[in-house]
Structure 1
């Protein structure tokens, strides 16, 4: 979990790049898959009202993907 000098959790570096590390205590959740960025951002706004999510309103991240393309093409390891 990335924390700044004040101890606040930060998941975006100064360049705006996102990072989360479950092994360090980050609890990553997938809110859904949406047909447009607009729909995804609307879902983020709704989630910010929910228990657990409202505590970290700046820790949401939206990714864009091409449909019908493999995203994870290599294996994985368990740490």
Structure 2
């Protein structure tokens, strides 16, 4: 097996794996708040306390994955174009 074919097979496997992940679990943890739903801050003594509400995930701790967002957009465009 040539290195080019091996690289193409690896890319196809990674793509199908990510597509399957997006199909099974369309929501992933928010990268900004790390799934907490709020930012962690420290007080003057250095102790952790709850910070501001996360605007990216609206406090849920979950965001839609990029692959699922692209899939939803493609379905929406296809649906609008075939009416």
Bin for the TM-score computed over the shorter chain: under 0.3
TM-score (norm 2): 0.22
Which structure shows the higher helix fraction?
Answer: 2
TM norm structure 1: 0.23
Higher relative contact order (CA 8 A, sep 6+): 2
Between structure 1 and structure 2, the one with the greater Rg is: 2
